[in-house]
A and B are shown apart, each in its own frame.
Chain A
Amino acid sequence: MSQFQRFLAKRLAISLVLTLVAVSVIFVVLRLLPGSPFEALVTAGNLSPSQVEEIRALYGLDQPMWKQYVNYMTSLLTFQFGYSILRSQPVWDVLEPRLINTLILLVPALVTTAILSSSLGMYVGWNRGSKLEKLSIITTTFLRSTPVFITGIFFIIVFAYNLELVPAFGMRSVTASPEGYIDTYLSLDFAHHYILPFTIAVLYYSGDFLLLARNGVVEKKGSEFLKLHRAKGLTEMQQLARAGRNSMLPILTYFALRLGMIFQGLILLEVVFGWPGIGRELVLAIQQQDYPLVQAAVFIMALAVIIANLAADVLYAYFDPTVSTSGGGAA
């Protein structure tokens, strides 16, 4: 085995163990929750005790804890998420459209901001000390440090309430009832609802990319290889392109990490805009104590982060020769 292969194998093993531990943590936390959704049903007087027992048995809640744990592990890891208690629908049928709604909103936003903000960041890093640099840094600092729901509220007040350009809530008009994905996402009505949360997501993510790109170029600017390029007679832009290319790696890995976190949705953004995504669904499920839905949603979120972390580490180790692959994980 080459060194890189060994590194890859180790990293894979770690990710697997992490998944198991994370899933177990979720199990422990969920079983610690007091009360069960059935209590609400029972106190509402709709069910007799024997009916309650029947349902508890149906969900396996009458079995000993270790057995529940084993069942839980096997079913989650084979993507059998079971039935949502309150929606009486398979969990995956509830989560899949929500997850897609989230991804449709955030993936394009992340890609857009990665390209735009990184380019701007490289440019202002090259022209260090300019007005544009100061302005872009203070703007993005404001946008990334302010909780996203506050930016959302400001934008809703200005663009939805005062200028009345876009709707403030939801993913489509109340009257619209599209069939199928193409009909849902390729309509003017959807675009109308899409533009504001999309813009905020772009702005929210912009700060980190801008700073990473700027710092990368600033670091490279004084380095030897650029002096050589300058001596060769390359123009400013050509030099910047070379400095930029060499600071791509942190941006790329950061992109991978962010992509993993997208599966959580931007919970606050989704709540403010009433966007029917996975983050908002999770908040609703937690409030209603819908165990199967909650555990499946958190599992998907954790899994996405673990996979993205793995991808980022491997990317780094593969492209950056200065990272020692024999050491433990990414330094």
Chain B
Amino acid sequence: MSTESKSAGQIYKRVDEIRGFVRDQFDFLRQDRLAMLGVIVVAGFVFLGLFGPMLAPHDPIEEDMRGEDGSILRLSEPSGEAVLGTTAFGKDVLSQFLAGARPTFIVGLFGGIGTGAIGFLVGLVSGYYGGWVDEVLMRLTDLTFSLPFMPMALLLLTFVTPSVWLMTAIIAGFLWKMPARVVRSEVLSVRERTFVKSARASGASDLRTMLYHVGPNVLPIGFLYTAYGIAWAIAAQASLAFLGFGDPTMTSWGRMLRQVFESGNMRVAWWWVVPPALGIAAITTSVFLIGRAYEEVINPEIQTDQ
């Protein structure tokens, strides 16, 4: 009985902590109006990513839009029938836009998290252990730096059928180098601080010191680069889809732009171009704006003045 109420108390405390943390973040972001705007855009994007395909009024690929006389509506301007107009193939632009958010969302989220997680771990281990471990991991980082991302991704995607998850893996497999280097150099300075040394002196194991004492202190920069990773992954996904190397089974914003570009209708069909182009531009910019707001706080050298 007493143990139960105790654990319940702990849970409440924990929930309070989390709530306090979320409120702190929210208060912090509210001070920066640009970052707040970014949060709103990101929230809208997450909503589209989760529910967009269900909201689409028509099937984005199968269903042809027909006018009152039953003929297929090709390249028709926005109207009551199709709120955002139709494509050259007679498909509903609004439905494609709604459905196309999902692959962008999946690749962005998981590509970003993968980038952040791999980079954080490599940087942490490399910086903490030093010596040959550091040497091996950093040369591996150099290697991924020297293999140009876009060309290599295009090459890899030609001999396997592109799928959303494969693209996520390729993107994370190439982008982890960025956080790895930054986290490593952070770890190098944290490692020398007194509390780390005292942890070691009081008998903490290497693994424990690394995870409990060094890790939390470089976590903010890990999160920052995860955010940037999300923006990079979205940009990369859109670019690959635009070049025709995207998942052929799914409508995505990049693929919509490819179709309008390839079909040569960019000059007339602005209603076909603007939704996906604006969608991609808005989400990548928003993620970066939020990241920047945090960077001002995380980077100790920038915050000294003022």
A interface list, Cβ under 8 A from B: 14, 17-19, 21-22, 25-26, 29-30, 32-34, 128-129, 134, 137-138, 141-142, 144-147, 149-151, 153-154, 156-157, 161, 215, 218-219, 221-222, 261, 264, 267-268, 271-272, 279, 282-283, 286-287, 289, 294, 297-298, 301-302, 305-306, 309, 328-329, 331
Is B231 in contact with A34, judged by CB distance below 8 angstroms?
no
* Complex Cα–Cα for A271 and B258 (A): 11
B285 partner residues in chain A, CB cutoff 8 A: 141-142, 145-146
B261: CB under 8 A from chain A?
yes
How many residues in B have their beta carbons less than 8 Å from beta carbons of A?
A: 50
B interface list, Cβ under 8 A from A: 34, 134-135, 138-139, 142-143, 145-148, 150-152, 154-156, 158-159, 184-185, 188, 231, 235, 238-239, 242-244, 257, 261, 266-267, 270, 273, 277, 280-281, 284-285, 287-289, 292, 299, 301-302, 304-306
Residue of B at shortest CB range from A154?
A: B277
Residue of B at shortest CB range from A156?
A: B266
Q: Binding site of B, secondary structure by majority: helix, strand, loop or mixed?
A: helix
Is A18 in contact with B142, judged by CB distance below 8 angstroms?
yes
* Complex Cα–Cα for A146 and B150 (A): 16
Q: A147-B284, A267-B243 are in contact. Are A128 and B305 (CB under 8 A)?
A: yes
Is A157 in contact with B301, judged by CB distance below 8 angstroms?
no
B243 partner residues in chain A, CB cutoff 8 A: 267-268, 271, 283
A287 partner residues in chain B, CB cutoff 8 A: 158, 244
Residue of A at shortest CB range from B231?
A: A145
* Complex Cα–Cα for A271 and B152 (A): 17
Is B277 in contact with A18, judged by CB distance below 8 angstroms?
no
A14 partner residues in chain B, CB cutoff 8 A: 139, 142
Partner of A21, one of B143, B145, B158, B280: B143
A149 partner residues in chain B, CB cutoff 8 A: 239, 242, 257
* Complex Cα–Cα for A129 and B304 (A): 14
Q: Binding site of A, secondary structure by majority: helix, strand, loop or mixed?
A: helix
Partner of B134, one of A138, A302, A328: A328
Q: A147-B280, A283-B154, A331-B188 are in contact. Are A215 and B267 (CB under 8 A)?
A: no
Is B152 in contact with A29, judged by CB distance below 8 angstroms?
yes
Is B156 in contact with A29, judged by CB distance below 8 angstroms?
yes
Q: List 8 A-B contacts (CB under 8 A).
A: A19-B146, A26-B155, A33-B155, A149-B257, A215-B302, A279-B150, A301-B151, A302-B147
Looking at the assembled complex, report how far the CB atom of B15 sits from the nearest CB atom of chain A, in whole angstroms.
Answer: 35
Is B143 in contact with A147, judged by CB distance below 8 angstroms?
no
Partner of A267, one of B146, B150, B270, B288: B150
